Amino acid sequence: MLEYFQPTHQANSLDLIPVEQLSRDGIRGLIIDLDNTMTPWNNLEVAPKVETWFKKVKAAGIRACVVSNNSKRQRVAVVADQLGIPFVFGATKPRRKAFRAGMKLLETGQKDTAVIGDQLFTDILGGNRLGLYTILVTPINDREFIGTRIMRRIEKVLVWIMKHFASAKPFSPKIH
């Protein structure tokens, strides 16, 4: 049961997935989740590093498509069109038919398709049910949240240092 939730690999973000390794592992097609995997949730902009990563994928002869459970066609199309790749919107991951639709677009099969996404219960579970290669990425929004938390911590530490530094070495007014 638990093995259904076990991805083949994990990465901190989409652009950090080594394309060379995908090629070495015989991957010819990628089924990629949209929200929080390619872009922040309901954000239309693809980061330049993500665009660069897609260029590497293309250069390696690997096809890619977006398979999103998001039901807004326009939202999914805008991102897929920026990258020049086909898409499935309103998919029903973790249902197998969502992944079969992706493989049909890619013209790939069970042995050479990888699923990339940020959710265990949709992307990874669904891909594993079909015996596909699965890659779990950290959700973009969580990464931002962690970033914010770290900044707050640094802020706190700075405030603490300043306080203690100030109390340890107070400016003593010189009395003449």
What residues line the site for Mg ion (CB under 5 A)?
Answer: 33, 35-36, 118
Sorted by sequence, the CB contacts under 8 Å of residue 139 that are 6+ apart come out as 36, 37, 118, 119
Region of 48 (left: φ > 0; alpha: ψ -120 to 50; beta: rest) is alpha
Q: Output 142 or 155, the one with its CB closest to Mg ion.
A: 142
Smallest distance from the beta carbon of 37 to Mg ion, in angstroms?
5
Q: Output 15 or 33, the one with its CB closest to Mg ion.
A: 33
Smallest distance from the beta carbon of 35 to Mg ion, in angstroms?
4
Whether omega for the bond prior to residue 94 falls within 30 degrees of 0, making it cis, is yes
Between strands 9-11 and 29-32, the pairing is unpaired
Residue 39 and residue 47: Cα distance in Å, rounded? 7
Q: Output 108 or 122, the one with its CB closest to Mg ion.
A: 122
Smallest distance from the beta carbon of 149 to Mg ion, in angstroms?
21
Q: Output 107 or 144, the one with its CB closest to Mg ion.
A: 144
Smallest distance from the beta carbon of 19 to Mg ion, in angstroms?
21
